Amino acid sequence: MFYIFIGNLFSMKNLFRFFPLFFLVLFLALFLITGFTTGLADLSRELKGQYDYKDFESAAKCRSCHGGLYEQWSQAMMSQAFTHHWDEIEYFDLAVAHAEKDPSLAEAVDGCNGCHTPMAYLAGDLPPARPEENTMANESVSCEACHLIQGTTTDPPFNYSYMMEPGNTKYSSRGKGNDSPAHRIVSSEFFRTTEFCGTCHNEKSPFGVWVKSTQIEWKEGPYAEEGVRCQDCHMPEAPYQTAMMGKTYNDARLHLFHGAHDPGKVRGTVELRIQPDIRLAEPGETVVFTVALFNQKTGHKFPTGSVEDRILWLQVEATDASGKTWILPVDKKGFEGEEYTIAGEELAYQDMGIPLGIENFEGVQRDGIPAGNRIFRMPYFDPEGRMTIMQWNTASLGVDYRIGPRETRMETYTFRLPFETAPGIMKVRAILNYQLLVKPVAGFLNVPEDESEIKTVNEHVTSLEILP
């Protein structure tokens, strides 16, 4: 009957007869759709301060039944999302201090807690006390923070757009309902989606810029088409007894959440090979080395997440038979914004002076690595066009020179052999290095050294013979 009505509606004979009715129906439909969408978008924001800490259970209580999963979680960054030393410094010394000087940023800075310590956000404890005060904010991304989520209010999900309600009902990828003596379990299809992860692993700045887009990168890549999800790599399946006195499931999801802070996860992410264009050379002769980098491991770009902090760089060094070493500069390709992908002596991050109260702050060294090295990054810029690490102050993005999933990147190094090169075998080594935080920033803010520790992703060595 509906299709007959539509057909009659658009017939020339009845067009004018139904004209007012048509626009009335159209108006009501648009009103309802717009209102519903806007309501969903605002729903997660309405969670702010709607509950009390007492409405939530601590992870320690969950430990009594889920001891193994608890221990896995307690070693993961999920359990330290609020208490981790760099997160604490960045939040309190930069973000909170910045919002105090610019109140327009207050909502965005409060929102940091929507993902780093959801219970504090829902309890309205903003900003929370520092970790040494040992409040419930220290639960970070706890059992409750995930297993109370019922869905998302946005598409794509971003900025803690989860729907959550405290209570005795816990949501999971499995569950038959009322089959636990401690709480009710409801099976949720949402837990099997990457949108679940995207509620926090996608983020927009107050300027509308995607400052984190890990789930979106996955969706645009090859693994999405193959059905390989975030959980398949970061929560692998294994035979495991998920609860005391419960049965062992062959496809239990381990709560490892291993990622950027796990050296074992980072190691080998990108395959690396280097070769020269000739094998015999004399001092003064020019040799071209080609490096192939293949991202064979991540389902998103590498690096991802907090890429305003991360630095991934390729260093190529040649050592002659006498032990003398040269660091080779990468050949320029000439694309727009390339200057941010080659290490230099430039200063950056001047906007840190705002929250720190330093007038005319000149910034710190941008890269902290040997000049000429190729950097795989995407620079963030503040409203004044200066490179920044403060994602809440990011107004624009530069060239995205990260390595995508299953992407192969080629780099060349043209090297004129110095006349003092010793005869014999010259070894040329390509090393791909990774730091969670740019070293000069870490040093300036007194961040513990482990956050800027160099992690070797991969390396490869080739050689050529230098003739007398």
SS3 labels along 214-278:
HHHHHHHCHHHHHCCCHHHHHCCEEEEECCCCCCEEEEEECCCCCCCCCHHHHCCCEEEEEEECC
223 and 319 both lie in a single domain: no
345 and 452 both lie in a single domain: yes
272 and 249 both lie in a single domain: no
Residue 222: inside a domain: yes
pLDDT score of 178: 53
Burial (CB < 10 A; 0-12, 13-18, 19+), residue 444, is: middle
315 and 228 both lie in a single domain: no
238 and 286 both lie in a single domain: no
DSSP 139: G
Bridge partners of 161, per DSSP, are none
pLDDT score of 180: 84
Nearest to 194 by CA among 220, 166, 167, 168: 220
103 and 241 both lie in a single domain: yes
At 372-410, the pLDDT tens digits run 999 999 999 999 999 999 999 999 999 999 999 999 999
Residue 34: inside a domain: no
Q: Report the number of distinct structural domains present in the chain.
A: 3
224 and 107 both lie in a single domain: yes
Tokens of 310: 């991360």
pLDDT score of 174: 87
The SS3 of residue 294 is strand
pLDDT score of 26: 40
244 and 277 both lie in a single domain: no
Nearest to 218 by CA among 210, 230, 209, 200: 230
Tens of pLDDT, residue by residue, the chain (468 residues): 333 333 333 343 343 344 444 333 344 344 333 333 333 344 455 899 999 999 999 999 999 999 999 999 999 999 999 999 999 999 999 999 999 999 999 999 999 999 999 999 999 999 999 999 999 999 999 999 999 999 999 999 999 999 999 999 999 998 765 578 889 999 999 999 999 999 999 999 999 999 999 999 999 999 999 999 999 999 999 999 999 988 899 999 999 999 999 999 999 999 999 999 999 999 999 999 999 999 999 999 999 999 999 999 999 999 999 999 999 999 999 999 999 999 999 999 999 999 999 999 999 999 999 999 999 999 999 999 999 999 999 999 999 999 999 999 999 999 999 999 999 999 999 999 999 999 999 999 999 999 999 999 999 999 999 999
58 and 17 both lie in a single domain: no
76 and 184 both lie in a single domain: yes
pLDDT score of 46: 80
246 and 277 both lie in a single domain: no
194 and 304 both lie in a single domain: no
pTM score of the predicted model: 0.89
Give the domain extent around 20: 1-28
* Amino acid of residue 302: F
